[in-house]
Structure 1
Amino acid sequence: MLVSALAAASAAVAADLGLWEMRAQMDKKEWVDLTHAFDGDIPHWKGFEAATTKVVYDYKPHGFHVEQFTHVGQWGTHVDPPSHFHEGKRALDEIPLKEQLLPLVVLDVHEKAASNPDYTLTLDDVKAWERKHGAVPEGAFVAMRTDWSKKWPDQAAMQNLDANGVAHYPGWSQETLKYLYETRKITASGHETTDTDPGVATSKDDYSLESYILGINHYQIELLDNLDKVPEAGALVVVTWPKPKAGSGFPARVFAINP
Structure 2
Amino acid sequence: MSRYPWWDLHARLREECASVDLTHAFHPGQPHFPVFPDEQRSQVFEVERDGFAVHRYELVGQWGTHVDPPSHFVDGARTLDLIGVEQMILPLVVIDVSERVVDDPDTVVRLEDVEAWEAAHGPVPEGSFVALRTDWHRRWPDDDAMANRDEEGVAHYPGWSREVLEHLVERVGVAAVGHETTDTDPGSSTSAGDYGLELYLLQQDRWQIELMAHLDQVPPAGALVVAAWPKPQGGSGFPARVFALVPRARP
Deviation of 1:114 after TM superposition, in Å, equals: 1.0
Please tell me whether residue 38 in structure 1 is matched to residue 20 in structure 2: no
Residue 15 of structure 1: CA displacement?
Answer: 9.0
Structure 1 residues without counterparts, runs of 5 or longer: 1-13
Q: Which amino acid aligns with 2:88?
A: Q
> Are 2:162 and 1:192 aligned?
no
Counterpart position of 1:6: none
Letter in 1 for 2:61: G
What TM-score do the two structures reach when normalised by structure 1?
0.93
User: Structure 2 CA distance, aligned partners of 1:18 and 1:104?
Assistant: 24
Which segment is superposed worse, 247-256 or 20-29?
20-29
What TM-score do the two structures reach when normalised by structure 2?
A: 0.96
Q: What CA deviation, in whole Å up to 9, does each residue of 1:19-44 have, x standing for no partner?
A: 22111111021100000001001111
SS of 1:258's partner is: strand
Q: Point out the more displaced range, 187-196 or 18-27.
A: 18-27
Pair 1:73 & 2:56 matched: no
Q: Identity of paired residues, percent?
A: 54
Rg larger in structure: 1
SS in 2 for 1:138: coil
1:138 paired to 2:136: no
Is 1:152 matched with 2:140?
A: yes
The amino acid across from 2:12 in the alignment is Q
Q: 2:9 maps to what in 1?
A: 22
For residue 127 of structure 1, the aligned residue among 102, 105, 115 is: 115
1:85 aligns with 2:78: no
Distance 1:18 1:139 in 2: 25
Gap regions ≥5 residues in structure 2: none
1:3 corresponding residue in structure 2: none
What are the superposed Cα offsets for residues 97-152 of structure 1, whole Å, 9 maximum, x if unpaired?
11110000000110001110000000000000000000000110000000000000
Q: Give the counterpart letter for 1:242 in structure 2.
A: P
In 2, the alpha carbon distance for the partners of 1:19 and 1:57 equals: 39
Runs of 4+ more than 2 Å apart: 14-18
For residue 11 of structure 2, give the secondary structure of its aligned residue in structure 1: helix
Whether 1:255 and 2:231 are equivalent positions in the alignment is no
Structure 1 residues 16, 207: closer, same or farther in 2, change over 3 A? farther
Correspondence for 1:210 among 198, 208, 216 = 198
CA contact (8 A) 2:2 2:8 kept: no
Distance 1:16 1:109 in 2: 46
Query: Secondary structure of the equivalent of 1:163?
Result: coil
Question: What do you get for the CA RMSD once the two structures are aligned?
Answer: 1.1
